[in-house]
A and B are shown apart, each in its own frame.
Chain A
Amino acid sequence: MLMNRVAPVIVWAVSILIVWQCLSWVFLEVLELPLAQSKLPYLHELARTFPDYADVLLAEGAVTFSNAALGFLFGTIAGVFLAIMMSISKWVEQLTFPYAVASQMIPILGLAPIVYGIVHDDQISRILIAAYITFFPVALNMLRGLRSADPSAVELMYSYAAKPWVIYWKLRLPAALPGLFSGLKIAAPLAVTGAILVELMGATEGIGVIMLRNLYYGPSHNYMFWLTVITGAFLGIVSYLLITLFERILTPWQPEFRKTGGED
């Protein structure tokens, strides 16, 4: 069973690497494109550069990741809070929802320098942007989740003369967890991307900073540049997998985690 799940992943990964390597060779040797290695570098070159560069990647990656995580946390809290308020009161929903939607129309690329201009601190603006990105998908999915409770299940609570907050605690919030997690899974990689974006616009530490620096130094830092890009992507994937792990632990009753038949 484990083989069935892992095998396709391995096959995919290996085929992508092979195609990558072949294309890289074609660009360099067959088409003889200018700066071919900048377009798609050899994997073995990346692998050779990696050990010397790993320390830097790890340190800068950790900065980016922890800032993104902090922003993600604040965004989640704000999103969940707003969703609960909106589900309690139609009035709050009508008042705030249009603005929540409108806020998403502002391009991050434009917002990031504005935020930086206001707070003048790259750490805080990174956290704010990550929170800002997280907020909307979390609020939206959480609200849907809160509304997803079965009407009969609500009536059951009603028949026990349950206080409104008890209905939330024992019914609406657990029923909303699957929705919350789909929001979190959308938001987590975006929060990382958002943090990197802010770094590209001026910061002192982080993946985005070394990405820009390597780009600036040109072809001589090409492999390092590619490694930072890959690290950025890797951080996004890690954030996603972490959420998936929490989801499995906290909502084991969800249909997709139900074991069918004899597998284990």
Chain B
Amino acid sequence: MTTTQVPEIELDHVSMRYQTDKSEVLALEEVTVDIRKGEFVSLLGPSGCGKTTLLRIMADLIQPTNGEIKIAGGTAKEARLAQKYGIVFQSPVLYDWRKIKKNITLPLEMMGIGKEEREKRVDSLLELVGLTDFKEKYPWQLSGGMQQRVAIARALAIEPEILLMDEPFSALDEFSRERLNEELLSIWSKVSNTVVFVTHSISEAIFLSDRVFVLSPHPGRLSAVVEIPLPRPRTKEMRNRKEFYELISEIRDSFEGV
């Protein structure tokens, strides 16, 4: 890695203050992070600590009240207009009137990719998230977890340069979750995009990430950055290693140090 490389995502003293009629919430205070191109990072923290807010700032969906954000040296808006983002929201956000396959191909349509190519890609994406049989169904015919998997397939469809995922697997059972963790890593190793992954689960954060950003609440601050030195590719058995457990307790401690 060259030292002159521009960070893919760069937040400089970013603060976010939500103004409501009566009260004011300081959701983020002075968050400064650099995320390298091709890096996989997790945002970990308790509910309400500003993870979604941080992700939405990175995606140019909201503007921070203070501080600056740069994507690959440019503005977040430029990155958005260049269609660099794939986003998995905390809820599936599927379009009711589109069948599953059409929901997945939506971003491909938006990028002007032809019908034939779309059809081709949708099959492998459906297979990836295990929903091949549900291709022609409407979203309401699927369970919550299945809908979330559709949302994941949709975000992966364009192989985005920056993949922002807000608790994508929290609606899933432990087995699907671990399987999709591995699938996500294998896709990431092929596409080598930059991933920012929000989660509540310490072990999930460790298994997936190069670095884990621990956030603390009220106001949301970056309280620790934990390097995960586990080698790549990550395998199931690594979850049982001593190092893995040590990392878990290290992150736990960083929570308590707050």
Q: In the complex the two chains form, is B61's CB within 8 Å of A153's CB?
A: no
Number of interface residues of A (CB under 8 A): 21
Main secondary structure of the interface of B (DSSP, over half): loop
Main secondary structure of the interface of A (DSSP, over half): helix
Q: In the complex the two chains form, is A251's CB within 8 Å of B83's CB?
A: no
* Residue ranges of B at the interface with A (Cβ–Cβ < 8 Å): 59-61, 80-83, 85, 87, 89, 91, 93, 95-97, 106-107, 109-111, 138, 140
Instruction: Using A150-B93, A153-B95, A253-B97 as known contacts, say yes or no to A162 and B110 having CB atoms under 8 A apart.
Output: yes
Please choose the segment from A20-28, A52-60, A166-174 that sits at the chain B interface, where 4 or more of its residues have CB less than 8 A away: A166-174
Q: Which of B80, B89, B96, B97 contacts A161 (CB 8 A)?
A: B80
* Chain B residues with CB under 8 A of A153: 93, 95
Residue of A153, A158, A159, A177 with most chain B CB atoms under a 10 A cut-off: A159
Q: In the complex the two chains form, is A253's CB within 8 Å of B80's CB?
A: no
* Chain B residues with CB under 8 A of A157: 110
Q: How many A-B residue pairs have CB under 8 A?
A: 49
Q: In the complex the two chains form, is B93's CB within 8 Å of A156's CB?
A: yes
Q: In the complex the two chains form, is B95's CB within 8 Å of A171's CB?
A: yes
Query: 10 more A-B contacts (CB under 8 A) besides A161-B81, A162-B110, A255-B140?
Result: A156-B87, A156-B93, A158-B61, A158-B80, A161-B82, A161-B110, A170-B95, A170-B109, A253-B97, A253-B140
* Chain A residues with CB under 8 A of B85: 159
Within 8 A of B (CB), among A139-186: 150, 152-153, 155-162, 166, 170-171, 174-175, 177
Q: Which of B89, B96, B106, B140 contacts A152 (CB 8 A)?
A: B89
Instruction: Using A153-B95, A166-B110 as known contacts, say yes or no to A159 and B138 having CB atoms under 8 A apart.
Output: no
Q: How far is the CB of A165 from the nearest CB of chain B, in Å? A: 13
Residue of A nearest to B90 (CB): A152
* Chain A residues with CB under 8 A of B110: 157, 160-162, 166
Task: Report how far A175 CA is from B94 CA in the complex, Å.
Answer: 12
